[in-house]
């Protein structure tokens, strides 16, 4: 009986191996075709952005993620500052991609902007692996394949021996993120489409509308978003001293200095009720001690490096009704106000020359 079971087990292993090999070959071909198509789309996106950049020849370049997209009206900021302004943002991006954008897209140009502004949240500038999962890796590799710092901190991190073995020997493990995305897409769109007898594009449109940011309850979505971000992986990076030297921030500062570009770091404001919400979720130490201590050290460090630092935390003019989900500005009520406040702070920081200020005053009087 035991011998028979052993034979059955061996047969099962052989079948699994053959099926895995067959599916692996098909999946590999599919992934290569998808990768090539994604690469073409990425190249097209970058070319279009480069064309707009060159046409504008900006004096002020802003870099960030969806916080920047939701918070700053590029045309309004240009009008308020008198500086030709250009925004580079990718939703969800963080310091690794911002480093790549600056090094390979902004500072490599023969004609560089006078100012570069990074709009960031809290500890992101010294958290190098934040938002560097496979969703963002293709963009990082497009810009910085072979970049020593990207390779060291993000693209080639040390992994445990088991992960190393599985990555080399099992395609399903190596493609686990893509498999998960495909399964989620199948459940969200294909299955609904088949069950309801509706075209997939109509299902996608309906799902996108239903789960759009404007349809969420801001308070509930904010709580989930913020608390999810404060994880065991997140908390160690609140120790500024332990992580500053192994982050992208020192290199960003050095690159801008060497290029003769004025670097401006702007801490985005958070919802006025966030500390209270986080404390209610059992994380009072984060809201009351760890984050304030981190910001004090960041401020002192940037002062030593002679980097312009603008902190919007606690800005009295920004009230709860100016925010949407999380720290995103409400497009109608918050975005115009934050853009005006940013222009004002830039003027106070000396970013706008006296000549520009005079031109703006004359323009205002004519209007």
- Residue extents of the structural domains in the chain: 1-56, 57-134+216-366
* Cα(228)–Cα(295) distance, integer angstroms: 21
If phi > 0 it is left, if psi is from -120 to 50 it is alpha, else beta; for residue 82 that is left
Q: Which residues pair with 60 in a beta bridge?
A: 85, 115
* Cα(1)–Cα(251) distance, integer angstroms: 66
pTM of the predicted model as reported, rounded to 2 decimal places: 0.74
Q: What is the pLDDT of residues 267-279, one digit of tens each?
A: 999 876 555 555 5
Q: What is the pLDDT of residues 107-126, one digit of tens each?
A: 999 899 999 999 999 999 99
Inter-residue contact 225 to 278 (CB < 8 Å): no
DSSP state of 272: T
- The fraction of the chain above a pLDDT of 70, given in percent, is 66
- With bands split at pLDDT 50, 70 and 90, how would you rate the model's confidence at 199? confident
- Between residues 193 and 241, which one has the greater pLDDT? 241
* Cα(150)–Cα(346) distance, integer angstroms: 31
* β pairing state of 115-120 and 308-311: unpaired
- Between residues 317 and 356, which one has the greater pLDDT? 317
> What pLDDT is recorded for position 365?
73
Task: Name the strand (E) or helix (H) holding 350.
Answer: none
Q: Which residue has the tokens 């031109």?
A: 359
Q: Which residues pair with 263 in a beta bridge?
A: 116
Q: What is the pLDDT of residues 223-250, one digit of tens each?
A: 555 554 555 567 788 899 999 999 999 9
CATH code matching the domain that covers 57-134+216-366, chosen among 2.60.40.10, 3.30.1490.270, 3.40.50.1110, 3.10.20.30: 3.40.50.1110
Nearest residue to 82 (alpha-carbon basis) of 363, 360, 365, 364: 360
What is the rounded (10 degree) CA torsion for 130, 238, 243, 161?
-60
Q: What is the pLDDT of residues 130-139, one digit of tens each?
A: 888 777 777 8
Sign, CA dihedral 356-359-360-361, equals: positive
Residues 6+ apart with CB under 8 A from 129: 96, 153, 154, 157
């Amino acid at each position: 009986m035991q011998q028979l079971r052993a034979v059955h087990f061996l047969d099962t292993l052989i079948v699994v191996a053959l099926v895995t090999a067959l599916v692996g070959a098909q999946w590999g071909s599919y992934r290569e075709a998808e990768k090539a198509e994604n690469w073409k789309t990425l190249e097209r996106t970058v070319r279009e952005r480069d064309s707009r950049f060159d046409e504008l020849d900006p004096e002020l370049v802003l870099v960030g993620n969806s916080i920047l997209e939701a918070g700053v009206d590029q045309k309004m900021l240009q009008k308020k500052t008198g500086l030709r302004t250009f925004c580079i943002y990718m939703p969800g991006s963080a310091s690794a991609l911002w480093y790549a954008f600056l090094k390979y897209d902004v500072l490599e140009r023969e004609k560089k902007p006078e100012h570069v502004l990074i709009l960031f949240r809290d500890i992101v500038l010294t958290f190098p692996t934040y938002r560097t999962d496979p969703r963002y890796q293709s963009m990082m590799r497009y810009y910085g394949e072979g970049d020593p710092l990207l390779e060291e901190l993000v693209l080639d991190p040390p992994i445990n021996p088991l992960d190393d073995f599985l990555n080399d020997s099992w395609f399903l493990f190596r493609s686990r993120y893509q498999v998960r995305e495909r399964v989620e897409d199948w459940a969200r769109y294909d299955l609904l489409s088949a069950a309801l007898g509706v075209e997939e594009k109509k299902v996608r449109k309906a799902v996108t509308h239903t789960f759009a940011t404007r349809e969420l309850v801001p308070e509930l979505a904010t709580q989930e978003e913020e608390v999810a971000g404060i994880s065991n992986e997140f908390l160690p990076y609140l120790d500024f001293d332990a992580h500053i030297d192994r982050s992208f921030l020192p290199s960003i500062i050095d690159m801008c200095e060497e290029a003769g570009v004025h670097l401006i770091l702007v801490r985005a404001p958070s919802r006025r009720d966030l500390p209270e919400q986080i404390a209610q979720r059992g994380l009072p130490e984060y809201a009351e001690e760890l984050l304030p201590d981190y910001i004090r050290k960041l401020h002192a460090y940037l002062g030593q490096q002679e980097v312009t630092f603008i902190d919007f935390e606690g800005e009295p003019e920004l009230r709860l009704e100016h925010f949407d989900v999380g720290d995103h500005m409400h497009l109608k009520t918050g975005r115009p106000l934050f853009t005006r406040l940013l222009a004002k702070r830039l003027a106070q920081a000396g970013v706008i020359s006296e000549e520009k200020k005079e031109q703006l005053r004359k323009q205002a009087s004519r209007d």
